[in-house]
Amino acid sequence: MARRFPRVMGLAKMCRNRNISFKSLDPPSSLTHGIHIFHCPDAVGIVAKLSECIASRGGNILAADVFVPENKQVFYSRSDFVFDPVKWPRVQMEEDFLKLSQTFNAIRSVVRVPALDPKYKIAVLASKQDHCLVDLLHGWQDGRFPVDITCVISNHYRGSNTHVIRFLERHDIPYHYLCTTNENKREGEMLQLVQNTDFLVLARYMQILSGNFLRSYGNDIINIHHGLLPSFKGGSPSKQAFEAGVKLIGATSHFVTEELDAGPIIEQMVERVSHRDNLQSFVQKSENLEKQCLSKAIRSYCELRVLPYEENKTVVF
């Protein structure tokens, strides 16, 4: 289940293989928080220029992560910084980082100011199982996700008195039931419903999206798989794992591609099991992992922590 890596994805030679991270104190309440990601060919002086760009406008870096893979000649960074929006207007900030991008022939350079920029607009696709959908909705309600949910789409009918429908009605989030068949996946209607969204979340949506849908949509789609990919692909991975006698079970969040359950991995979580577990306890533990794993992936994506690496991998700061 074509991906485009987050458009929101985006400091020089210190050693052959650098994986640097440093942090400072929390920002003063009077300043505004910004995030910048940078992906470019490796060169001497990138860290210095990034720091200079921010400092020259009165900003202060609170945390920075850098990754330069060995023998790859490519540079990745993510910077958290604070600034005074009066001294460094948002438009000026874009211009400054654009100049930096041009200097280093950046593949990707993105800046985000959560307090000033619009929240990400998402649509959620789900099937019969509620656990991931309900956890996502309550997480959104509690402010754990900087997103606006435009709608929930499902191929499963839910009555008006169900918990999900009552929640959605209370928060004015549309629910669209699209009865699908093998001959008609209703993808044209789905494309209409998800127009103007920044990315999609599959909260246990048990339908395979076609390559045509993925290409037509064009933005990223995050899926949760109830198993440790690349093992136990397809349906019933918990049953597959149980029958294989594994000692660790897990969940995997990944980007959706045309190849089933083969997209770049964003997050994985595991839990130990034993001979004392039965299939029911396997499933219960798996569902808890799915909720946590999907939640972490969405937050990482929104915080610009996920960058493309090689053909089918990710850097997650």
φ, ψ of residue 159 to 5 degrees: the values are: -70, 160
304 belongs to a structural domain: yes
- How far is 80 from 75, CA to CA, in rounded Å? 17
The residues pairing with 268 across neighbouring beta strands, listed in sequence order, are 252
146 DSSP assignment: -
User: For residue 274, what pLDDT is reported?
Assistant: 87
3-state SS class at 309: strand
Could you give the percent of the chain with pLDDT greater than 90? 73
In this structure, the answer to whether residues 72 and 202 fall within a common structural domain is no
Total domains, the chain: 2
The last residue of a domain, from among 56, 81, 112 = 112
In this structure, the answer to whether residues 84 and 156 fall within a common structural domain is no
User: Within the chain, where are the H helices?
Assistant: 46-55, 90-103, 131-141, 163-170, 187-193, 211-217, 237-244, 279-302
In this structure, the answer to whether residues 87 and 214 fall within a common structural domain is no
User: For residue 9, what pLDDT is reported?
Assistant: 37
User: For residue 8, what pLDDT is reported?
Assistant: 42
- How far is 312 from 317, CA to CA, in rounded Å? 17
153 belongs to a structural domain: yes
Could you report the per-residue pLDDT of 193-227, keeping only the tens digit for each?
A: 999 999 999 999 999 999 999 999 999 999 998 87
CA 35 to chain centre: 15
17 belongs to a structural domain: no
13 belongs to a structural domain: no
- How far is 120 from 112, CA to CA, in rounded Å? 11
- Active-site entry in 80, 135, 220, 261: 261
In this structure, the answer to whether residues 151 and 245 fall within a common structural domain is yes
- CATH number, domain at 195? 3.40.50.170
User: Quick one: angle between helices 279-302 and 237-244, nearest 10?
Assistant: 130
In this structure, the answer to whether residues 131 and 107 fall within a common structural domain is no
Whether the Cβ atoms of residue 293 and residue 265 lie closer than 8 Å to each other:
no
User: For residue 86, what pLDDT is reported?
Assistant: 95
Handedness of CA 151, 156, 157, 162 (dihedral sign): negative
The yes-or-no answer on residue 261 being catalytic is yes
In this structure, the answer to whether residues 142 and 108 fall within a common structural domain is no
- How far is 86 from 297, CA to CA, in rounded Å? 33
- Domain extent, residue 61, equals 32-112
Could you report the per-residue pLDDT of 79-129, keeping only the tens digit for each?
A: 999 999 999 999 999 999 999 999 999 999 999 999 999 999 999 999 999
* 164-180 mean pLDDT: 96
27 belongs to a structural domain: no
Q: Which residue has the tokens 């000692």?
A: 247
Handedness of CA 229, 232, 237, 238 (dihedral sign): negative
pTM: 0.85
Least confident of 5-9, 78-82, 151-155, 287-291: 5-9
User: For residue 234, what pLDDT is reported?
Assistant: 65
User: For residue 227, what pLDDT is reported?
Assistant: 77
User: For residue 91, what pLDDT is reported?
Assistant: 96
Kindly state the tokens that stand for 207: 């339908």
Least confident of 60-74, 167-181, 203-217, 276-290: 276-290
- CATH number, domain at 94? 3.30.70.260
The last residue of a domain, from among 84, 112, 140 = 112
- Does pLDDT of 2 surpass 80? no
Whether the Cβ atoms of residue 99 and residue 108 lie closer than 8 Å to each other:
no
230 belongs to a structural domain: yes
In this structure, the answer to whether residues 56 and 159 fall within a common structural domain is no
Q: pLDDT band at 15, cuts 50/70/90?
A: very low
In this structure, the answer to whether residues 303 and 223 fall within a common structural domain is yes
69 belongs to a structural domain: yes
User: For residue 5, what pLDDT is reported?
Assistant: 44
In this structure, the answer to whether residues 216 and 89 fall within a common structural domain is no
261 belongs to a structural domain: yes
The last residue of a domain, from among 93, 112, 131 = 112
In this structure, the answer to whether residues 135 and 236 fall within a common structural domain is yes
Within 8 A by CB and 6+ apart from 275, the residues are none
In this structure, the answer to whether residues 43 and 174 fall within a common structural domain is no
In this structure, the answer to whether residues 51 and 135 fall within a common structural domain is no
